[in-house]
Amino acid sequence: MYIIKIILFYLIFLFSLVFVSLIIIISSLFLTVQSIQGIGKIWIIFILKALKLLCGIGWNIKGIENIPPTPFVMVSNHQSPWESFFLQTLFLPTSSIMKKEILIIPFFGWAISRLKPISINRKLKMESLRKVIADGGERIQEGYAVLVFPEGTRKNPKDGIGKFGISCGVLAANESVPIIPICHNSGKYWLNKSFKKKSGDISIVVGKPLYGSDPKKLTEESRSWIKKTYSIIG
């Protein structure tokens, strides 16, 4: 029975994804990025509620009051697709860093490209770092939050928190904006690279703003906070 519910969830996910992607693509011809991200937010909330209804995966969030009304660098650990969706609902507009290959995926990638993400080639690390800093700086100046997963790739929940790339600290220091650290344990429930799901409530904790002018120190402070928090909720 649970397998049937998972299949039903994925059917809803895929068909609604094509539908909302078409809406975003068409709407991008006459609406602002923030407005079409608002459309995306509605779809994300719909999908996460469907996930909760069918697969029993809910969520609870603490520290939401720490999200500022002005641009910042959002830094999170990375475990599953779940946070890639959910974190984009916390602030509009948000620019996410992602692999450039995603943008050529029919419908989904075409729609994402309209939302002003920062696409990178992960094989070219220095070039990617420069692009994140340059494009991320432009986005922040335009009023965006920039979402960064400094671990780079998704980690197994059992492995804890991985090493952080320094781009988040450089971006925050250069633009004189705070890092907002976010910790979660989504990978325990939405299993990465697996059809299976595990019912339960994902815990998300939003930390207080971290300010500073030293990129390495800022990066390490955000990692330390996330690592400490994960030891509690993980």
CATH number of the domain within which 158 lies: 3.40.1130.10
Residue 2: band (very low, low, confident or very high) from pLDDT cuts 50, 70, 90: confident
Q: Is 15 inside a domain boundary?
A: no
Q: Is 187 inside a domain boundary?
A: yes
Torsion of CA 121, 123, 124, 130, to 10 degrees: 50
Res 202: pLDDT: 98
Sheet containing strand 73-76, edge to edge, reads 57-62, 200-206, 179-184, 73-76, 145-148, 94-99, 118-120
The arithmetic mean of pLDDT across residues 146-164, rounded, is: 93
Which one-letter amino acid corresponds to residue 68? P
Say whether pLDDT at 152 is over 90.
Answer: no
Q: What is the mean pLDDT of the chain?
A: 94
Q: Is 47 inside a domain boundary?
A: no
The arithmetic mean of pLDDT across residues 157-174, rounded, is: 94
Asked if 210 and 222 count as a contact pair (C-beta separation under 8 A), the reply is: yes
Res 93: pLDDT: 96
Across 19-23, 102-106, 140-144, 160-164, least confident range: 102-106
Domain count for the chain: 1
What are residue 16's DSSP bridge partners? none
What is the domain extent for residue 111?
A: 59-233
Q: Is 209 inside a domain boundary?
A: yes
Q: Is 114 inside a domain boundary?
A: yes
Q: Is 102 inside a domain boundary?
A: yes
Asked if 192 and 116 count as a contact pair (C-beta separation under 8 A), the reply is: no
Res 147: pLDDT: 97
Say whether pLDDT at 214 is over 90.
Answer: yes
Q: Is 40 inside a domain boundary?
A: no
Q: Which residues of 18-56 are buried (b: 16+ CB within 10 A; e: fewer)?
A: eebbebbeebbeeeebeebbebbbebbeebbeebbebbe
The verdict on whether omega for the bond into residue 106 sits within 30 degrees of 0, i.e. cis, is no
Site of tokens 């409530």: 201
Which tokens sit at 174? 């250069």
Residue 129: band (very low, low, confident or very high) from pLDDT cuts 50, 70, 90: confident
What are residue 206's DSSP bridge partners? 182
Please state, for a pLDDT cut of 90, what percent of the chain lies above it: 82
Q: Is 166 inside a domain boundary?
A: yes
Res 123: pLDDT: 74
Residue 178: band (very low, low, confident or very high) from pLDDT cuts 50, 70, 90: very high
Phi, psi (5° rounding) for residue 45?
-60, -40
Say whether pLDDT at 67 is over 90.
Answer: yes
